[in-house]
Amino acid sequence: MRVSEAIGLFPKDLDRKAGTVTILRGKGDKRRTIGLDPTAFAVIERWLDRRKALGFSGRRPVFCTLQGQPMKSPYVRELLPRLAARAGIEKRVHAHGLRHTHAAELAAERMPLNLVQAQLGHSSLATTDRYLKHIAPAQLIEAMRSRSWSL
């Protein structure tokens, strides 16, 4: 998801049983449904339990401040590098980089390109193809390095 899509989610948009997240207002104001794996749902449920303990109702966004206020995109963009530093990660961490990582992992798992396109919310398959070519050159390099042939 894009940052704006994630911070716009409400608990009603999550369906663990179905394994889906409904994004009501994606890029271009488009609605879409994406899949979410059980491990990711388990992490989100831990936060939902914490929210409940803080007294937040389903009328608050899934990702809110500890005071229950909606998050803003700039806040998330500032927060991620701080969390990365606290975790000892020296590499640059940014929200869109997490999106890139997700796309690269799906490609590495040999997910069909049209499914990667749907998960990312791209309207064009060509966009997804360009996106993956840009972010996953390591796969191409490794594929070429692992080849063997003889004269």
Q: Is 94 a catalytic residue?
A: no
3-state secondary structure the chain: CCHHHHHCCCHHHEECCCCEEEECCCHHHCCEEEECCHHHHHHHHHHHHHHHHCCCCCCCCCCECCCCCECCHHHHHHHHHHHHHHCCCCCCCCHHHHHHHHHHHHHHCCCCHHHHHHHHCCCCHHHHHHHHHHHCHHHHHHHHHCCCCCC
Of these residues, 2, 32, 60, 102, which one is catalytic? 2
4, with CB counted inside 10 A (0-12, 13-18, 19+), is middle
Q: Is 99 a catalytic residue?
A: yes
Q: Is 27 a catalytic residue?
A: yes
Of these residues, 96, 130, 133, 134, which one is catalytic? 96
Of these residues, 16, 27, 100, 102, which one is catalytic? 27
Q: Which residues pair with 32 in a beta bridge?
A: 23
Q: Is 2 a catalytic residue?
A: yes
Question: Which residues have a catalytic role annotated?
Answer: 2, 27, 96, 99, 122, 131
